């Protein structure tokens, strides 16, 4: 399970950087170990600091928004690390004063690319059978003119004069806590520590260009609405031609005319004429994956009865085992009768003259009344 970083900071998913910082500051003031030496508060402070570090980094935030967890698999400073493992006071200062107190040094010019997300509409049958589709993706790809180097011809990057290659510039600010040295990424080289005086004419020095490509996406049988298929290294190429991120294809399942899906089970309604419900009949349904399938309505079927066809539902994504098809029976009483119909029904009535309408308790368990039916539904009896 990915951690709820937004929830930890008490903000919504669409939160702006400014609001994010404000929310973190507020919580940091409350839980900072200097203010609140309580152990629980320290643990809380660690959590909110890690959450802030993740969400204030566009790269990591994107991973969170894609449903991932950037701190998983040792990809960063997890909650388990000791106090200070996430940068300690530096991060607090960064939140308070807009720059890091801790020195970070230059960032690499070549960085991993970000993941991309693509939505794909599939109908229920496609979800059941799986499908291979061609899709057009618009992503950053490696610049073929400079092969990601970002330089023109044989020219070379040069050390940045503004930061002397350190990638950051420092300023001294006066604050409530006295003089504070803050550093921020160098504006000239954007933290890289070097500049490209003669950039590639095609990519402008970024090492990558935007391109539209067609790729083939294989969707496995059994997918459902909201599921994501990951295509490794088909996302954005990173700055400086860095390794591509992943492409996620998110399934949007279209509603089916007949069947409603509930996990691996399918549901449909069958309307059965009164007499057929009494005598029994067979209805043919065009089932997903199975084609024409007979559903036997036994004699004496009651309104609201459910007939379950085991193994005629959707396939499970991992095992391929099939769910069930639930046919919900609606018994239809004729609204108009001609003289002949009326006569036949009167004769039928004469045969069964002990059956009359009666008022019964809404709670009577054997009555088949509303409440007992509801109870059966909930308890599965
Ligand atoms: Zn280039
Ligand atoms: Zn610089």
Q: Is residue 338 part of a domain?
A: yes
Q: Token digits for 128?
A: 């059941």
Other CB atoms within 10 Å distance of the CB of residue 317:
15
The total of structural domains in the chain comes to 2
Q: Token digits for 109?
A: 């010019």
Task: Please give the Cα distance from 167 to 108 (Å, whole number).
Answer: 9
Each residue's pLDDT expressed in tens, for the chain with a length of 381 residues: 567 899 999 998 888 888 998 899 888 888 887 777 788 888 888 888 889 988 988 888 888 887 777 776 433 333 333 333 333 344 444 444 444 334 456 888 888 999 999 999 999 999 999 999 999 999 999 999 999 999 999 999 999 999 999 999 988 877 776 777 888 899 999 899 999 999 999 999 999 999 999 999 999 999 999 999 999 999 999 999 999 999 999 999 999 999 999 999 999 999 999 999 999 999 999 999 999 999 999 999 999 999 999 999 999 999 999 999 999 999 999 999 999 999 999 999 999 988 999 998 888 665 455 555 555 555 444
- HSE-CB at 347 with a 13 A cutoff on CA atoms is 5
Q: What is each CA distance from 3 to 17, 51, 52, 79, 277, in whole angstroms? A: 19, 9, 12, 10, 52
From the CA of 166, the nearest ligand is 2
Q: What is the DSSP letter of 193?
A: S
Determine the distance separating the centroid of ligand 1 and the alpha carbon of 205, expressed in angstroms: 6
Q: What is each CA distance from 211 to 109, 199, 238, 242, in whole angstroms? A: 21, 19, 14, 16
User: Which of residues 70, 105, 131 is at a domain's end?
Assistant: 70
CATH number, domain of 304, equals 2.60.260.20
Which segments of the chain does DSSP mark as H helices, in order? 5-9, 17-31, 39-55, 58-65, 89-97, 124-129, 274-279, 339-351, 370-379
User: Which of residues 38, 70, 102 is at a domain's end?
Assistant: 70
Which segments of 164-311 does DSSP mark as H helices, in order? 274-279
- At residue 221, the pLDDT reads 96
Non-local CB neighbours of 88 within 8 Å, separated by 6+ positions? 102
Q: Taking Cα atoms as reference points, which of 218, 226, 255 lies closest to residue 123?
A: 255
- At residue 44, the pLDDT reads 87
Q: Is residue 360 part of a domain?
A: no
Determine the distance separating the centroid of ligand 2 and the alpha carbon of 98, expressed in angstroms: 18
Q: Taking Cα atoms as reference points, which of 255, 249, 235, 231 lies closest to residue 119?
A: 249
From the CA of 142, the nearest ligand is 1
Q: What is the DSSP string of 32-61?
A: -TTT---HHHHHHHHHHHHHHHHHTSHHHH
In this structure, the chain runs to a length of 381
Task: Please give the Cα distance from 360 to 375 (Å, whole number).
Answer: 17
CATH number, domain of 30, equals 1.10.287.110
Determine the distance separating the centroid of ligand 1 and the alpha carbon of 62, expressed in angstroms: 25
294-304 burial, b at 16+ Cβ within 10 Å, e below that, comes to ebebeeebeee
- At residue 38, the pLDDT reads 81
- pTM of the entire structure? 0.62
Determine the distance separating the centroid of ligand 1 and the alpha carbon of 63, expressed in angstroms: 27
Residue 127 marked in a binding site = no
- At residue 83, the pLDDT reads 32
Q: Assess contact for 342 and 285: CB atoms under 8 A.
A: no
Q: Is residue 49 part of a domain?
A: yes
Q: Is residue 187 part of a domain?
A: no
Q: What is the DSSP letter of 241?
A: G
Q: Is residue 237 part of a domain?
A: no
Q: Is residue 83 part of a domain?
A: no
Query: CA geometry: angle at 109 spanning 85 and 169, to 5°?
Result: 65
- HSE-CB at 309 with a 13 A cutoff on CA atoms is 22
- Which domain does 14 fall in, by range? 1-70
User: Which of residues 43, 70, 97 is at a domain's end?
Assistant: 70
Q: Is residue 194 part of a domain?
A: no
Determine the distance separating the centroid of ligand 1 and the alpha carbon of 294, expressed in angstroms: 63
From the CA of 188, the nearest ligand is 2
Near ion ligand 2, which residues have CB within 5 Å? 160, 162-163, 186, 188-189
**Helix (H), strand (E) counts: the chain:** 9, 15
Q: What is each CA distance from 149 to 143, 152, 164, 264, in whole angstroms? A: 9, 9, 21, 50
Q: Is residue 104 part of a domain?
A: no
Determine the distance separating the centroid of ligand 1 and the alpha carbon of 8, expressed in angstroms: 41
Residue 268 marked in a binding site = no
- At residue 194, the pLDDT reads 92
Residue 160 marked in a binding site = yes
């Amino acid at each position: 399970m990915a951690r709820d970083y937004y929830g930890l900071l008490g903000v919504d998913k669409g939160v702006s950087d400014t609001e994010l910082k404000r929310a973190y500051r507020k919580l940091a003031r409350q839980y900072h170990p200097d203010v609140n030496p309580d152990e629980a508060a320290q643990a809380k402070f660690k959590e909110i600091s890690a959450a802030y570090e993740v969400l204030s980094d566009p790269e990591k935030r994107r991973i969170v928004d894609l449903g991932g967890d950037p701190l998983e698999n040792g990809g960063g400073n997890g909650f388990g690390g000791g106090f200070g493992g996430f940068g300690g006071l530096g991060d607090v200062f960064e939140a308070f004063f807009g720059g890091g107190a801790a020195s970070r040094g230059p960032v690499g010019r070549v960085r991993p690319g970000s993941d991309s997300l693509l939505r794909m509409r599939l109908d229920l049958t496609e979800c059941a059978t799986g499908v291979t589709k061609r899709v057009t993706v618009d992503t950053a790809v490696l610049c073929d003119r400079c092969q990601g180097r970002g330089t023109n011809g044989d020219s070379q990057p040069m050390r940045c004069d503004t930061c002397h290659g350190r990638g950051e510039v420092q300023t001294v600010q006066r604050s409530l806590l006295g003089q504070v040295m803050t550093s921020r990424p160098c504006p000239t080289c954007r933290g890289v520590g070097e500049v490209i005086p003669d950039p590639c004419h095609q990519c402008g020095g970024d090492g990558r260009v935007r391109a539209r490509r067609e790729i083939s996406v294989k969707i496995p049988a059994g997918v459902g609405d909201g599921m994501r298929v990951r295509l490794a290294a088909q996302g954005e190429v990173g700055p400086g031609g860095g390794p591509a991120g992943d492409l996620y294809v998110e399934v949007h399942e279209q509603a089916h005319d007949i069947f409603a899906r509930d996990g691996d089970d399918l549901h449909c309604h069958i309307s059965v004429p009164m007499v057929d419900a009494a005598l029994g009949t067979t209805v043919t349904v065009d089932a997903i994956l199975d084609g024409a399938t007979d559903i036997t309505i036994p004699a004496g079927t009651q309104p609201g009865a459910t007939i379950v066809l085991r193994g005629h539902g959707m396939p499970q994504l991992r095992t391929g085992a099939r769910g069930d098809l639930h046919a919900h029976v609606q018994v239809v009483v004729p609204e108009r009768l001609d003289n002949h119909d009326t006569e036949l029904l009167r004769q039928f009535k004469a045969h069964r003259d002990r059956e009359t309408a009666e008022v019964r308790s809404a709670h009577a368990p054997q009555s088949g009344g509303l409440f007992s039916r509801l109870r059966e539904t909930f308890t599965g009896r």
